[in-house]
């Protein structure tokens, strides 16, 4: 049996259409009761002609002289959604004049009702996914609930799973669910695939998918031009819980994110996560370890660490000579007491560079080398 036509939905559609017509419009349910009308005094009354049209599936025409209580001259046409009669549309007036208009009106109302129902379904999906993902990100979704929730409603997701966050730097960490226009467009592209659970909150668009080459590629293409924080492939709910906590810590502290666009795997952001979880005073102390370095020396050390401790690769990236790189590394070690070429000290150096982003010290240093 088809779902009943709601009064609220029918009246919204009547209100959209009625300003373009001179005739009174009524929408009746399957029993013939007027549930929406451009004449509010008729709402709630029985229309015998509409009851006949709903029962037979054929138009019910009321001519002058055939009027009865609650019935005026006009035409009443069955209203169908998904092949089922859900109500009747009536147009008051001389039948020969209003029948062609009523036929167009029924088609228009069917399209509007279908669109309204799609919007309602979209709103329900968004509310469902926001509740699910926010509970996951905030650690309030137990392991049993994870498997049940991902396998119960469309789209169903089977392990391994991957949680990602698409971030706009200007809104990351914000409690609002409103996203910048760039991310609004991305939600439409993601939705078109029909394979993701997604919802905006805390200034990011959170996306849950199966960890597969196909879904990974689709998500990367949809989010081109912004920053995608890509979580690990998670074979079970416990791993997914850990991945969610990692991404949440980074989204809440966007100053640690080293890039504004592109794809960053959370597995490569261990230093950023470590500093994000530090007490503020500890991070500040780390940042002070490299306070004497110029921007040039910091960039050289950062490039050296990112290149796998290769002097030649660093020289190529910075368009400089190998000897210049070596001199800058020597000077950095002299000024800080930390040699980025030594394994343990290079870890401290990397944490200090991240901490400097947190404290803003990168914004208050000279751009010229100190030696």
191-197: which pairs have CB atoms within 8 A and are 24 or more residues apart? Answer: 193/218, 193/222, 194/155, 195/155, 196/155, 197/129, 197/132, 197/133, 197/150, 197/155, 197/157
Q: Which band of pLDDT confidence, cut at 50, 70 and 90, is reported for residue 34? A: very high
In the predicted structure, residue 117 carries a pLDDT above the cut 50? yes
Q: Confidence class of residue 172 from pLDDT cuts 50, 70 and 90?
A: very low
Query: Is residue 184 pLDDT above 70, yes or no?
Result: yes
Contacts of 242 (CB under 8 A, 6+ apart): 234
Give the confidence band of 231 by pLDDT, cuts at 50, 70, 90: very high
Answer whether residue 332 shows pLDDT above 90.
Answer: yes
The pLDDT value given to residue 169: 54
Has residue 177 got a pLDDT over 90?
no
pLDDT band for position 366 (cuts 50, 70, 90): very low
- Compute the mean pLDDT over every residue in the chain, rounded to the nearest whole number: 84
pLDDT per residue as tens digits for the range 139-166:
888 888 888 888 777 888 889 999 999 9
Find the mean pLDDT for residues 159-176.
72
Q: What is the pLDDT of residues 2-22, one digit of tens each?
A: 556 788 878 888 888 888 888
Per-residue confidence at 69, pLDDT binned at 50, 70, 90? Answer: low
Collect all residues with Cβ–Cβ distance below 8 Å to 42 and sequence separation of at least 6.
24, 26, 34, 70
85 burial via Cβ count (<10 Å: 0-12, 13-18, 19+): middle
Among 42-51, 82-91, 229-238, the range of highest mean pLDDT:
229-238
Mean pLDDT computed over 220-246:
91
This prediction's pTM: 0.62
């Amino acid at each position: 049996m088809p779902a009943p036509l709601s009064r609220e939905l029918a009246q919204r559609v009547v209100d959209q259409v009625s300003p373009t017509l001179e005739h009174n419009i009524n929408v009746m349910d399957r029993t013939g009761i007027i549930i929406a009308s451009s004449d509010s005094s008729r709402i709630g009354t029985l229309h015998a002609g509409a009851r006949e049209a709903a029962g037979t599936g054929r138009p019910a025409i009321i001519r002058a002289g055939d009027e009865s209580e609650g019935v005026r001259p006009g035409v009443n046409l069955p209203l169908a959604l998904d092949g089922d009669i859900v109500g009747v549309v009536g147009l008051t007036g001389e039948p020969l004049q209003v029948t062609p208009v009523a036929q167009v009106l029924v088609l228009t109302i069917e399209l509007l009702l279908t669109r309204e129902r799609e919007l309602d379904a979209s709103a329900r999906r968004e509310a469902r996914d926001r509740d699910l993902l926010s509970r996951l990100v905030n650690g309030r979704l137990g392991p049993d609930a994870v498997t049940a929730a991902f396998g119960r409603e469309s789209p169903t997701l089977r392990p391994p799973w991957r949680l990602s966050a698409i971030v706009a730097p200007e809104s990351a960490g914000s409690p609002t669910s409103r996203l910048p226009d760039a991310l609004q467009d991305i939600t439409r592209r993601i939705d078109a695939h029909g394979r993701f659970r997604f919802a905006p909150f805390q200034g990011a668009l959170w996306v849950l998918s199966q960890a597969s080459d196909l879904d990974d590629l689709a998500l990367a293409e949809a989010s081109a031009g912004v920053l995608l924080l890509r979580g690990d492939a998670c074979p079970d709910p416990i791993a997914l819980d850990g991945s969610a906590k990692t991404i949440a810590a980074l989204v809440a502290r966007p100053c640690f994110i080293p890039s504004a666009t592109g794809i960053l795997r959370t597995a490569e952001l261990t230093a950023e996560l470590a500093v994000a979880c530090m007490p503020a005073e500890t991070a500040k102390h780390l940042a002070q370890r490299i306070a004497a370095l110029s921007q040039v020396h910091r960039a050289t050390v950062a490039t050296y660490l990112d290149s796998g401790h290769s002097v030649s690769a660093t020289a190529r990236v910075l368009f400089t000579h190998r000897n210049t790189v070596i001199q800058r590394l020597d000077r950095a070690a002299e000024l800080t007491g930390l040699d980025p070429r030594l394994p343990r000290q290079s870890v401290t150096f990397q944490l200090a560079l991240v901490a400097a982003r947190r404290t803003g010290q990168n914004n208050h240093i000279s751009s010229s080398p100190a030696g």
